[in-house]
Structure 1
């Protein structure tokens, strides 16, 4: 009849409207979820990277915080967290809501079926959470014992040395062995994931069968009417389907939980040195005093490095630190830069406890030239001005290059704008070292730190760099470490450090006259006196 056709047309229009509305809502929901997910991912990556930048040296001494693992936190674990707040999470929330509503309907229309549904779902969820916990434990174990990943990073970083020593086969075998061990844990994880999938898929039929049987029994004993029982059974079917929809995302949620724990451990960690901008801003003159300094590395608490060390360095003087390897010379340099703080005693700069000074301000008053110069991709100009902004004049840069004996820069076709390549790969070792010296001098530091600055150079480059260093330390407090003792004989004072204490102190002539530890060290190197 006409009324029926009108009703059908209205129903069709309503279904079309509902479909279009659902489509629009789904698109908007997915877009908003994706936007929120990407914004949160960006935020977590920024927080993690910022936290890494402001950690002290002790943090990176921990084997759990190697460069490779921290890169994994940023590049892999942060994206893995997205499962907790993207469309997958929305699907889980939707399925959980549908399941709860369906059970509530079943409970309202036929309470025996509703109670049975609650019992079955609780049993299934218990099993799923147990399996999820086992998967989580395996994920944590694989992160902690990722020897294969560590081996791969170590091998790739040192591939030239491995090739030179013809140890390619050995490192391949080690990597293969560790990969096989990791594969065993992957198999265990896959087994639990398969169990999770199997239980959720098969239990739907089991729950439906039991529910259907109970429904027949309820109708047979006339406890509930057929229509109410039918509605309750159908509601339980919807609950089972909702649970099946959510089940595949359970491993993703577990992976997200594992990743979140790792990322948050990095992102929310406060540096032990506190806010680097807080503290006293004093004008550094260059007097340095170590008073009864004790120190142990956090990773080796049973092995003291400093045992009550005392040393006074006057402004404008050059003091050389010598002694056997492992005696604590480089540790003193690191403590001056406040990568570490004394565990006992005091380190004072111009009479002020270094821990009371602003870390940022203190580091602008000193500069380090190490054994291996660290250059960054970019031009020579950018590397020299690194950290000083754009207010450094060309004249100031050229003056620092002159003092660093880096005349070669002006002879390059692009001059200061010459690209140095990744890690300075386009420059020789001597050239990189002189650029590093120029970078130190352009900062006009009050305290200049030289840690084996010429030990990795050939004789010709060493002479050029040593000449630059001699000019650089004029008028500054200079603390230098060198195993080639010929380069420190003109120092104002030489401190012989052994077992965490200053055993001898004086200039070259005084120490030679004593014929003590320093004298024996000189004799071992067969230097002319």
Structure 2
């Protein structure tokens, strides 16, 4: 039986793999330390991305900042009906939890009145007993300290009623405690469960959105910044939509309940306590707004620094080779400087706001106690018809106080929610973005057969990051089915750009690219790339087994098909010689394999889908002569029966091409076979002659 290789455990979707199998990947961006010789043309404008991004107009920056703040509806946009039910129950129980605290102080006020009443009864009974004793002139001194039996009975009866009242208060506290226990468990557990469910879908949606973006979009991004979004920003969003929401609502409910009870029991005292509340409200509102702004800007700074760190770590060998550690540390420190300044400003502002808030609150409390004493005095003078009882003053004071403190308690949780809005702005904008070239778009033509007839008609093109530099100018090309066509020319002439356009990584600014007479824009992108195989100068292998790397070309294939593709690529013999054979892990980016071995695995991956079009982008230029011979033999086999486009650095490898196109400044200047072009003694002749001389000099030096 044939063994089927499924890629379910590989985190890269097929669409993502195809993008990665092109020339670029999400996390493998070229280092500033080292650029390939074709970098000037293939990645035109790529190395100036930072300048383009940072050099935008002020209006663009303001628009970008505004776009980076998500709405509350966006934060909860991935919630299902079940999630919404959990959130609703969590919010209601959070309100119950919050309202329970003021209720405790209502009981506390009633209990205080009971204590006061009991004390007054004791004092009254003692006073009546003494008056009765001293009122009888015949009373002896021995009877002064003795209460009558009737007085003792009255005191005992009063104590029994007092004890019963205290028992009732104790039971009420226990009942409230049990209710709070259940409410707390439900509101935290339900909100956190809903949060985990939403975050799981959000992470998948964000990663899917990243993989469906077109290459032109990636040219404007920093891969490290996207990784930061995927990790840190999503974690902040998770914090802002989970139990923090319940805690914020709990404190807000505590605030509302406290003030409602305060107004019901004594609106005058409540107003006195609230006299300084407008100042507190202004401080809280200003704090929230500034914190949200600082958090969004701070996240942007950290994302930029994270991109720099990832770029350095991904190219650590090159950095060490050139002793660039100190320079990179300095650059990283400079990148962190902006976030440090923002963090310091945020800390200073937060400390000042919280300190000033506490000052205002305690001033309000002092004023409340002073006014409360006048209310108690009025209560006593009017026999309870006016003013407030001692217990009433305590109830109102503590209800309003705990309500006020609840605002302070809600502040960090509200800050987490505002931070989630700031962090989620870019995340949701990427998820909602509709790329002009969407690899997941199911629409488009899917012809039953592919001839491989490719035409470029009057193509003009400039890379998105350098729109002012035309790479192709009125470019025309006609490639017949089954032909092997070679593209040669100096660096930056447009060779690799043609490879990118055929895969529809970009759309031309003007003109049409046709496959079998059909515009590429009308074809289904997934189908198009499924009929194209590519082998690039620097093959990209993932940290999985050799078999799974080959199977990335066509998921779900059998082991026999994998081995057949490896044999066509001259890779089967060296793979079989490995201790674990096709199950050998290649390491990060194929670090466990040599350059020639990686290239042959990449060829097998391209051939396993049996493509009608084969693109060879300087596939042997980075290899030594021995490895080049083996790989070139594999490429010669691969070209049979396919339309093949070869971008060559070593011109000796294309002498057997059916047609050679010589490019200069984005235009075709010479066309023909090798011998014809050599006889013309034009640009192609000069390139071949110069390369022959250089190779001869290298050979002489090695000898």
TM-score (norm 2): 0.70
What is the distance in 1 between the residues matched to 2:365 and 2:495?
A: 74
Q: SS in structure 1 opposite 2:482?
A: coil
- Gap change, CA 1:220 and 1:204, over 3 Å in 2: same
Q: Structure 1 residues 114, 335: closer, same or farther in 2, change over 3 A?
A: farther
Q: Aligned to 2:567, which of 391, 402, 407?
A: 402
Q: Secondary structure in 2 aligned to 1:191?
A: helix
1:492 to 646, 658, 664: 658
Mean CA deviation greater in 270-279 or 461-470: 270-279
Distance in 1 of aligned mates of 2:515 and 2:477: 12
Query: Residues 387 and 445 (structure 1 numbering): CA distance in 2 closer, same or farther, change over 3 Å?
Result: closer
TM-fit CA distance, 1:430: 0.3
> Residues of 2 paired with 1:489 and 1:119: CA distance?
91
1:132-281 matches, within 5 Å, as: 132-146=288-302, 147-212=304-369, 225-227=386-388, 230=393, 233-274=397-438, 275-281=440-446
2:227 to 71, 75, 79: 71
Q: CA distance change for structure 1 residues 264 and 113 in 2, over 3 Å: closer, same or farther?
A: farther
Q: Report matched runs for 1:245-394 at 5 Å.
A: 245-274=409-438, 275-282=440-447, 283-394=449-560
Determine the C-alpha separation between the residues in 2 that align with 1:437 and 1:240: 69
CA offset digits 1:207-264 (Å, max 9, x no partner): 3344556667889999x94229836544432321211221233432332222121321
Alignment partner of 1:476 is 2:633: no
The corresponding residue for 1:517 is 683
Aligned counterpart for 1:440 among listed residues 606, 610, 623: 606
**1:43 paired to 2:211:** no
Structure number with larger C-alpha Rg: 2
CA distance in structure 2 between the aligned counterparts of 1:144 and 1:13, rounded to whole angstroms: 54
Residue 123 (1) aligns with residue 282 (2): no
Counterparts in 2 of 1:181 and 1:505: CA distance versus 1, 3 Å: same
Deviation at 1:69, TM superposition (A): 1.2
User: Secondary structure of 1:346's partner?
Assistant: strand
Do the aligned partners of 1:200 and 1:243 also contact (CA within 8 Å) in 2?
no
Q: Alpha carbons of 1:235 and 1:398: their partners in 2 closer, same or farther (altered >3 Å)? A: closer
What secondary structure is seen at the aligned counterpart in 2 of 1:526? helix
Name which of structure 1's ranges 86-95 and 164-173 shifts more when overlaid on structure 2: 164-173
Q: 1:109 to 1:285 in 2, by over 3 A?
A: same
Could you list the per-position Cα deviations for residues 451-474 of structure 1 after superposition, in whole angstroms to 9, with x for gaps in the alignment? 111111111001111111111101
* 2:488–2:649 Cα contact (<8 Å) kept: yes
Alpha-carbon distance in structure 2 between the residues aligned to 1:415 and 1:465 = 20
Q: Measure how far apart 1:268 and its partner are.
A: 2.5
- Measured against aligned partners, the alpha-carbon deviations of 1:89-117 in whole angstroms (never above 9, x if no partner) come to 21211222222333344445555655666
User: How far off is 1:398 after superposition?
Assistant: 2.6
- The answer to whether the Cα contact below 8 Å between 1:454 and 1:462 also exists between their aligned partners in 2 is yes
Q: What SS does structure 1 have at the residue aligned with 2:506?
A: coil
Q: Which has the higher contact order (CA 8 A, sep 6+)?
A: 2
CA change 1:490–1:125 in 2 (3 A) is: farther
**CA offsets 1:21-41 (integer angstroms, 9 cap, x no match):** 321221222211221121122
Aligned to 2:236: 80
Shift of 1:404: 1.1
Shift of 1:508: 1.7
Does the 8 A contact of 1:139 with 1:258 survive in 2?
yes
Q: Distance in 2 between matches of 1:494 and 1:103?
A: 85
Query: RMSD in angstroms over aligned alpha carbons?
Result: 2.7
TM-score in terms of structure 1 length: 0.91
Q: Which moved more, 1:407-416 or 1:145-154?
A: 145-154
- Where structure 2 has 5 or more consecutive residues not aligned to the other structure, the ranges are 1-156, 380-384, 696-703
Separation of aligned partners in 2, 1:141 and 1:426: 41
> 2:84: which partner in 1?
none
Indicate the SS of the match to 1:49. Answer: helix
> Does the C-alpha gap of structure 1 residues 508 and 14 become closer, same or farther in structure 2, counting only changes over 3 Å?
same
Does 152-161 or 312-321 show the bigger shift?
Answer: 152-161
Q: Distance in 2 between matches of 1:298 and 1:278?
A: 25
Distance change >3 Å, CA 110–CA 356, structure 1 → 2:
same
> Is 455-464 or 189-198 further displaced after alignment?
189-198
Q: Which runs of 5+ in 1 are unaligned?
A: none
Q: CA deviation at 1:417?
A: 2.3
Task: Summarize the Cα distance change of 1:452–1:411 in structure 2 as closer, same or farther, 3 Å threshold.
Answer: same
**Shift, 1:364, TM fit:** 0.9
Of stretches 406-415 and 32-41 in structure 1, the one that deviates more from structure 2 is 406-415
Deviates more, 1:297-306 or 1:69-78: 297-306
Distance apart, 1:342 and its partner CA? 1.5
Partner deviation per Cα, 1:247-285 (whole Å, 9 max, x = no partner): 233432332222121321233323322443211111221
Aligned length: 524
- The secondary structure found in structure 2 opposite 1:130 is helix
Change (3 A) 1:181 1:10: closer
After the TM superposition, which of the residue ranges 348-357 and 3-12 deviates more from structure 2? 3-12
